[in-house]
Structure 1
């Protein structure tokens, strides 16, 4: 394990990031922990607890996932994908809104669901699952609004200034939605073990996570046709993360959570994205008893 931690430290250093990660074999419970108890701002990763809360209420009969919702453009959360990027009123079912929330990380769809489910219901769900350090403080629209407010009159261009980045409340776990990599792999394990909700609802959640379109983080570490990756990304200025499950054809299932912070304020830092897949591969190779991990 010491060799694994050395490899992880070198990978994060080479990428120019600070990194925090946790991985666990879902069936054996074996772990790889690299500062996995560190509190992190979850950004869009917190759409996963929201998804579980939605399905929990649906399983209880409180919500019908086929319910149609009108989604006018006024008041939508900002974002580059899904409803957040659309100009006109849309009418979608709650389950299709959940698809947009998970597959393309649509903030507007997430906030429609959050208004229907309730913020405290999300926190009750994570508490029920034993996640004592995972907490939702605000909607995704509020998160993006706080970034805009904290950036000040300089707008998006001000986010190139490290002093502006330092004052973003969204990056402070004490002032934002938060969790730890360790608790997030615990959360993933409940979905894959069918204990987060009923088995049929857990299967639906696994399906949605498998439809995520972003291949440049976690999935990049597993470029094999017979290895399945299902995940959820989260991003804020200088913060990149993804949580997910990697499943091998022999049935091995590995829950992984990786978060990074860059000193660079650039919006595009390929190495900071790629190291999430690299770190995940190192951890999974260790859990599978491969000895020296491969990062290709």
Structure 2
């Protein structure tokens, strides 16, 4: 089958940025879709926090958990990370839903792990299976994921910039870490926006929460308009830069997009790779909005 012209442009955008990319985009209301490697298993990194917070709100809707339940957070034993509770020094107390807000807004690993502890990996995996996402599976909390990286790097931080050492990291292998496919992540987002994960006030609160993300340098960079809303969740690990989210236009168009990339370079800062996520997403959404183009 001849690839869609937009798919060729998306692939070219990835190539120009020095990354290998996988993408799926779908019109939430019509089901029209476009993809590049849509069904390729990918390590999800922090994008898996979408599954975590969706599980919290689905179980809240079912009456199985109270999202306002407070959690005591000791000062010690927090997950590695550069934001949120992971870098704070004092004990705290927050509700489950406020932990979810931190896990999305600033990708707080400690907040996410407190939710993993409260819900359980098995519960999140069962919820994804109930939603038909059979290739979406969590095998690590965030602290466990980072522990595998420390073990695989033999405790040497410099190993994360060594291309040969990076290839040995379990966290980058979708057969040994938290994983999904671009198609399934967009299916999850579409289900959230169609009130299929949790309807009513919980659905509204979940969508609002997913709009809190502070980072705008990836997916949102492709849609620099005041009247276009982008809700998303990034994911980053050595050589990996991801983002999945929903793009909403003022005319009512709603599009779920998931972009997963892996760079050839181990550099921590690669602006071209970040920008390629927004560029590829924009190409895909434009193609869905103007099918004849």
TM-score by length of 1: 0.96
Task: Give the Å deviation of 1:291.
Answer: 5.8
Match for residue 144 of structure 2 among 142, 145, 150: 142
RMSD across aligned positions (CA)? 1.1
Task: Give the Å deviation of 1:158.
Answer: 1.7
| Aligned residue number for residue 102 of structure 1 | 104
| Aligned residue number for residue 205 of structure 1 | 206
| Aligned residue number for residue 247 of structure 1 | 248
Question: Structure 2 stretches of 5 or more lacking a match?
Answer: none
Question: Structure 1 stretches of 5 or more lacking a match?
Answer: none
Cα distance change, pair 153–144 in 1 and its aligned pair in 2 (3 A):
closer
| Aligned residue number for residue 133 of structure 1 | 135
Task: Give the Å deviation of 1:2.
Answer: 2.3
| Aligned residue number for residue 60 of structure 1 | 62
The ranges of structure 1 where at least 4 consecutive aligned residues each deviate by more than 4 angstroms after the TM superposition are none
| Aligned residue number for residue 9 of structure 1 | 11
What do the CA deviations read for 1:154-203 (whole angstroms, capped 9, x no partner)? Answer: 22x22110111010000000110000000111110000000011232121
Number of residue pairs aligned between Structure 1 and Structure 2: 291
Secondary structure of 1:268's aligned partner: coil
Alignment of structure 1 residues 195-234 onto 2, 5 Å = 195-234=196-235
1:194 aligns with 2:218: no
Preserved CA contact (<8 Å) 1:84 1:108: yes
Q: Distance in 2 between matches of 1:99 and 1:197?
A: 17
Q: Distance in 2 between matches of 1:290 and 1:273?
A: 26
Q: Distance in 1 between matches of 2:292 and 2:218?
A: 23
| Aligned residue number for residue 280 of structure 1 | 281
Cα distance change, pair 291–276 in 1 and its aligned pair in 2 (3 A):
farther
1:271 aligns with 2:242: no
| Aligned residue number for residue 35 of structure 2 | 33
Q: Distance in 2 between matches of 1:93 and 1:86?
A: 17
| Aligned residue number for residue 47 of structure 2 | 45
| Aligned residue number for residue 258 of structure 1 | 259
Secondary structure of 1:102's aligned partner: helix
